[in-house]
Amino acid sequence: MVDLLIKNGLVVTMDKDRRILKDGSIAIENGRITAVGRGIKVKEKPEEVIDAKGKIVMPGLICSHTHLYGMLLRGAPLRIEPPTDFSQILQRVWWPMDEAMTRDDAHASALIACLEFIKTGTTLFADTYSGPNSIIGVLDKIADAVDKSGIRGIVAFEATERRTHAEGAKGVRENERFIKKVEKERMRRVRGMFSIHASFTVSDELIRYVRDLASRYKVPITIHASEGLIDPLHNCERYGKRTVERLRDVGLLGPDVVLAHCVNVNDDELEIIKSTGAKVAHNPMSNMLNAVGVAPVPEMLKMGIQVGLGNDGYIFDGFENIRAAFLLHKVALRDPRVISPMEALEIATIRGAGLYGLGNELGSLEPRKLADVIIVNPSIAPTPLRPESVAGHIVSTVDGDDVETVIVGGNVVMRNRKVLTMDECEVVKTSRRSSEKLWVKLGAIRR
């Protein structure tokens, strides 16, 4: 029997034909989509029917790269000398924060981040946490928050040797422990992966160690790659190679590797990414914030490199990130033709699922796929909402606040803007308590 029937919507399927159905319906049973089309007939009365007339029905957004704990830094009045480049941003902002974080802070940040993801239509994210003084067991705290929220998460600890080699190995072991736990407990909505901070903070030995473990457990690896100039300059000076060349030569790259950013890469490195099957998580708003440059995403797409969309812990509204990806490359290349509305939408949905080997399960509305669906009701749509205009409306009209209903695995986690899985007020209180303590540690405020 059909558990949930969504009817009369403008259905943006994101299937291989990118079909958009006027007055379309979606039937959901046991957490999966059983039918997508017009005029779906069901034998028995569904348990629930949602009338989506005048609304957009589309796959839940996928955030291909984030740092949930970045939520706790939002608006922080840091009393520091303003950084002039990316390396100073790391040294003056992020690394002190990393060292101040506790496991409870990680839990609080995951709760508030998941709440914001729900409110703005993201149903799957890939997160890397970095806190050298809160390594052991921290992924359990993050997973607990994800589980409470009802959405999906791929989580990892960001291994780094910037302080000691032992600390890098400890981070890798936390990932391995959690990956084993996921498999043993058969977690459905939370997965594990391996994460390496960046090539300029790790040795070849640690990279090989992670590569071997990821192959053994058959899970993805993610690493920041050529976000700022510090990365290629470090590798050229120390190894005589650019970042992606070194990652290839050390044996890391493959179809299970997600390279975050890839801003400062050249044509040879793009060819290496393509030939190895590695994938890229694009973070346009974070790249603008940190003034690191513009990733050559249009060229990647032309080459057939798989690209997803992330937020890097900055703006969690996926629709804002879609809009940034849609616009940034036009101005960077001074060409209004680059990145079409549909391409911007693809990297936030079906391509994002492909980054983590989930393209057969998520990212589009098709029979047999997991029923991760959002219903969007644009508050202001000054022009007709039609199959031929909906992609343009998504990139130019829709905001996260327009997301009305969120469904994950057939379960409604937000209905008519009310989150059903979390107490919003309590989550906000928890986040504010945690961030206040953190800001005191960082010297941003006084008690």
Please answer whether residues 261 and 273 qualify as being in contact, where contact means their C-beta atoms are separated by less than 8 angstroms. no
User: Residue 391 has which token pair?
Assistant: 């992609």
In this structure, the answer to whether residues 183 and 326 fall within a common structural domain is: yes
Spatial neighbors of 20 by CB under 8 A, at least 6 apart, are 10, 11, 12, 13, 387, 388, 390, 391
In this structure, the answer to whether residues 128 and 277 fall within a common structural domain is: yes
In this structure, the answer to whether residues 132 and 212 fall within a common structural domain is: yes
Closest by alpha carbon to 9, among 66, 49, 65? 49
In this structure, the answer to whether residues 25 and 65 fall within a common structural domain is: no
* Residue 433 is assigned to a structural domain of this protein: no
First-to-last alpha carbon distance for the chain, in angstroms, is: 57
* Residue 361 is assigned to a structural domain of this protein: no
Residue found by looking up tokens 């909906």 in the block: 390
Q: What is the CATH number of the domain that holds 21?
A: 2.30.40.10
* Residue 427 is assigned to a structural domain of this protein: no
In this structure, the answer to whether residues 306 and 275 fall within a common structural domain is: yes
Closest by alpha carbon to 346, among 361, 326, 328? 326
Rounded CA separation 56/116 (Å)? 20
On the CB side of 108, CA atoms within 13 Å amount to 21
In this structure, the answer to whether residues 132 and 161 fall within a common structural domain is: yes
**pLDDT for the residue numbered 335:** 98
* Residue 268 is assigned to a structural domain of this protein: yes
Rounded CA separation 319/322 (Å)? 5
In this structure, the answer to whether residues 66 and 50 fall within a common structural domain is: no
Prediction pTM value: 0.97
* Residue 224 is assigned to a structural domain of this protein: yes
Domain of 296?
61-355
In this structure, the answer to whether residues 48 and 67 fall within a common structural domain is: no
Please answer whether residues 430 and 148 qualify as being in contact, where contact means their C-beta atoms are separated by less than 8 angstroms. no
In this structure, the answer to whether residues 266 and 409 fall within a common structural domain is: no
Residue found by looking up tokens 């929220």 in the block: 149
User: Phi-psi bin for 251: left (phi > 0), alpha (psi -120 to 50), beta?
Assistant: left
* Residue 226 is assigned to a structural domain of this protein: yes
Q: What is the CATH number of the domain that holds 262?
A: 3.20.20.140
In this structure, the answer to whether residues 225 and 265 fall within a common structural domain is: yes
* Residue 426 is assigned to a structural domain of this protein: no
In this structure, the answer to whether residues 252 and 385 fall within a common structural domain is: no
Question: Dihedral of the CA atoms 185, 186, 187, 193 (nearest 10)?
Answer: 100
**pLDDT for the residue numbered 211:** 98
Return the SS3 of 275: helix
In this structure, the answer to whether residues 93 and 46 fall within a common structural domain is: no
Last residue of a domain, one of 355, 384, 407: 355
**pLDDT for the residue numbered 278:** 98
Residue found by looking up tokens 């090539």 in the block: 199
| DSSP state string for 50-85 | EE-TTSEEEEPEEEEEE-GGGGGGTT----SPPPSS
**pLDDT for the residue numbered 117:** 98
Rounded CA separation 417/1 (Å)? 27
Per the structure, how many domains does the chain have? 2
Spatial neighbors of 384 by CB under 8 A, at least 6 apart, are none
pLDDT tens-digit profile, the chain (447 residues): 789 999 999 999 999 999 999 999 999 999 999 999 998 888 788 899 999 999 999 999 999 999 999 999 999 999 999 999 999 999 999 999 999 999 999 999 999 999 999 999 999 999 999 999 999 999 999 999 999 999 999 999 999 999 999 999 999 999 999 999 999 999 999 999 999 999 999 999 999 999 999 999 999 999 999 999 999 999 999 999 999 999 999 999 999 999 999 999 999 999 999 999 999 999 999 999 999 999 999 999 999 999 999 999 999 999 999 999 999 999 999 999 999 999 999 999 999 999 999 999 999 999 999 999 999 999 788 899 999 999 999 999 999 999 999 999 999 999 999 999 999 999 999 999 999 999 999 999 887
Please answer whether residues 355 and 308 qualify as being in contact, where contact means their C-beta atoms are separated by less than 8 angstroms. yes
User: Residue 295 has which token pair?
Assistant: 């990733």
**pLDDT for the residue numbered 318:** 98
* Residue 432 is assigned to a structural domain of this protein: no
